[in-house]
Amino acid sequence: MAYEVAAPKYVRLAQTLQGRIEDGTYPPGSRVPSENQLVQAFGMSRPTVVRALELLKRDGWLESRQGYGTIVRGRPEVIERKNQRGREALERDESAAPGRLIEVGQVPVPPRVASYLGVPKRTKVLVRRLLVEEDGEPVELSSSYFPAGLAEGTDLADSTPLAEGLRAHLEARKKVRFDHVTERVSARMPSDEEADLLALPKGEPVLSVLVVACDVSGQALQVTDVLLPADRQELEDTYRLG
């Protein structure tokens, strides 16, 4: 049984601060509150605050300037490229992807996926889980979930890699139309299985890009959880599919 593990306090604090950068509370070039101010404002220990700031500095959101404090740099370039992940999850040709399908079958729906698919908790849904590799190293774990009824009459339950994108396959087989995608990006701790598959050291968080693909009515047709062993951010984007 897989368990969802809450992100550590320093990761959650980093997400909150990053959100304030995103919404303009801390604009580029401004100075973030001091460590003492953050300790008092959030009721967290100094080591937790220091770790959160170091995480944001490492990922390019902040920088230290001697004699001036910690400065906001703005949105890192890697986040500007984030939208590619959602489109890739929908349009990737599995048969040509550098990696392998590691699971195809019915599984209990994860709690947060259930809310987007609009199905009761503990409902069985179909999952296709793809481990993407580059130069023999795991770089992405992509788990795509579909309502069981939507998968009927398709090849989604077949363990053979599809020679087309998941979106194209569903649109052709089920006569549905994908209209828009919402991406929610967050940091969390991986399960033991996810950490092993991504070859992550113990205690290392992952970036989860939750891709929710909907039809014109807003009904979710597919939810994909893309795990990346890199950045730790919290974002949300919606864009139309051409």
Residue bearing the bigger pLDDT, 186 or 238: 186
What are 83-134's pLDDT values in tens digits?
566 677 788 899 988 889 999 999 999 988 998 888 888 899 999 999 999 8
pLDDT at 4 over 80: no
Residue 11 pLDDT > 70, yes or no?
yes
List the beta strands (DSSP E) in 77-219.
99-108, 124-134, 137-147, 180-188, 206-214
The model's pLDDT over 204-231, given as tens digits with 9 standing for 90+, comes to 888 888 888 888 788 889 999 999 885 3
Average pLDDT over residues 27-48: 92
Please indicate whether residue 11 or residue 126 has the higher confidence score (pLDDT): 126
The whole-angstrom separation of Cα 99 and Cα 97 is: 6
At residue 157, the pLDDT reads 94
Query: Residue 232 — very low, low, confident or very high, per pLDDT cuts 50/70/90?
Result: very low
- Residue 154 has what pLDDT? 95
pLDDT digits (tens, 9 = 90+) for 148-162: 899 999 999 999 999
pTM of the model: 0.63
- Output the pLDDT for position 172: 93
Residue 121: DSSP 8-state: T
DSSP result, 35-69: HHHHHHHHT--HHHHHHHHHHHHHTTSEEEETTTE
Predicted confidence (pLDDT) at residue 173 exceeds the cutoff of 90? yes
Average pLDDT, the chain: 84
